[in-house]
């Protein structure tokens, strides 16, 4: 049996702890967002663990994600919110999947189904992305008896900036649109608005359940404005590690990688890490690296498709075959997903979700 050359180690006990914290903080029902393969953590495994931990709902972007959950025995209420006109709406009805409706085209299609679909009306309160806006009056005048309107929801544009007045404006607009829907005789059972950031800092947006994504994975919605995981009492669920394919000593003046972007200034040891941009490591990453033998070793040169090079330092005792940590929770001094996000001019969301299928997900307790 061979060992993996790289792996993403997932600690589901930490997922449970994060969900418990968020439920206690919001004091309401919780929808665990498991779209995009559960932010790279594994759709089915995470969904089942989230339900065991107390999640009342599951949320996905795509209908096919919801269907996958149903086919794997998940019976918890599931909402899919990126289901465009022309989708297999009948499967949603057959599998008891709630779907979001954001325009008249989609509404007219679901209204024609033999059995009433369970729908949540998405309204645009100021993000100008998804949701009813210019067609809202047309919707309110429509025959709404052919569908079961289970919920109404919107999404914050700046919840991770708690002092921004747009948050209040969006809430006011949402309440107005809810009142308009109720005025035509429809009172949805569920109103929902809060994402992870709002769940953490805006109790006024709690409503009937909160939709928590990045926070259940132990990562901050915005490190700059809200602080990191430690400040928010969240515990990072994923650790990514890889093997050193090769360790070699090189003299000063050695060019490293494509384009020879880095030239060593002194004699040193280099480590070739067996993971690359085909696995989700950002090609543009600078000022990140790996953690090995209690020390950080920075990336030098360009990240390649399957590998990248780090400077281990001249006195390193690392050897080929050793495991190195790409990112973890930072408790031992290793780089974090936040660090890799900053190093790539991006965010922690992108770092965890882009870890590719060539990197096996290993579900192990006490990863850290």
Residue positions annotated with a catalytic role: 35, 258
Specify which residues 263 forms β-bridges with.
255
**Cβ proximity of 259 and 276 under 8 Å:** no
Helices (H) and strands (E) in the chain, counts: 12, 18
The first and second tokens of residue 60, run together, are: 């996905």
Total Cβ atoms within 10 A of residue 56: 17
Contacts of 288 (CB under 8 A, 6+ apart): 298, 299, 335, 339, 340, 343, 344
**Cβ proximity of 40 and 353 under 8 Å:** yes
Given the structure tokens 């990453």, which residue do they identify? 285
Exposed e or buried b for every residue in 98-122, given b needs 16+ CB within 10 A? Answer: bbbbbbbebbebbbeeeeebbbbbb
Output the DSSP codes for 162-214.
TT-HHHHHHHHHHHHHHHHHHHTT---SEEE---HHHHHH-GGG-TTEEEESG
Total Cβ atoms within 10 A of residue 257: 16
| Helix boundaries (H) for 72-160 | 89-94, 104-111, 136-140
Given the structure tokens 């339900």, which residue do they identify? 51
Query: For residue 216, what is the DSSP state?
Result: G
**12-26 and 43-53 helices cross at what angle (nearest 10)?**
50
CA distance 87 to 106: 9
């Amino acid at each position: 049996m061979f060992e993996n050359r790289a792996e993403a180690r997932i600690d589901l006990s930490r997922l449970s702890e994060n969900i418990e914290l968020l439920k206690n903080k919001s004091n309401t029902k919780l929808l665990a967002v498991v779209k995009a393969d559960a932010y790279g953590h594994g759709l089915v495994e995470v969904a089942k663990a989230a339900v065991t931990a107390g999640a009342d709902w599951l949320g996905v972007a795509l209908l096919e994600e919801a269907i996958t959950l149903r086919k794997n025995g998940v019976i918890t209420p599931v909402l899919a919110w990126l289901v465009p006109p022309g989708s297999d709406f009948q499967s949603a009805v057959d599998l008891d999947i709630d779907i979001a409706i954001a325009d008249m085209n989609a509404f007219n299609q679901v209204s024609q189904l033999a059995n009433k679909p369970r729908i949540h009306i998405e309204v645009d309160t100021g993000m100008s992305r998804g949701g009813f806006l210019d067609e809202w009056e047309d919707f309110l005048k429509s025959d709404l008896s052919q569908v079961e309107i289970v919920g109404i929801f919107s999404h914050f544009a700046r919840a991770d900036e708690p002092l921004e007045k747009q948050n209040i404006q969006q809430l006011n607009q949402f309440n107005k649109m809810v009142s308009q829907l109720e005025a035509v005789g429809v009172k949805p059972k569920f109103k929902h608005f809060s994402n992870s950031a709002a769940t953490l800092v805006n109790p006024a947006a709690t409503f009937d359940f909160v939709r928590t994504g990045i926070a259940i994975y132990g990562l901050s919605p915005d490190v700059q404005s809200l602080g990191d995981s430690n400040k928010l009492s969240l515990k990072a669920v994923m650790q990514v590690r890889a093997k050193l394919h090769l360790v070699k000593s090189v003299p000063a003046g050695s060019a490293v990688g494509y384009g020879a972007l880095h030239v060593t200034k002194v004699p040193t040891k280099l480590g070739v890490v067996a993971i690359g941009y085909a696995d989700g490591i950002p090609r543009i990453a600078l000022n990140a690296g790996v953690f090995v033998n209690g020390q950080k070793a920075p990336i030098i040169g360009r990240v390649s498709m399957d590998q990248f090079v780090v400077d281990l330092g001249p006195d390193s005792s690392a050897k080929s075959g050793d495991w190195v940590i790409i990112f973890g929770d930072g408790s031992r001094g290793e780089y974090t997903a936040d660090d890799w996000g900053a190093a790539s001019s991006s965010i922690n969301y992108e770092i965890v979700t882009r870890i590719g299928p060539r990197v096996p997900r290993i579900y192990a307790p006490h990863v850290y």
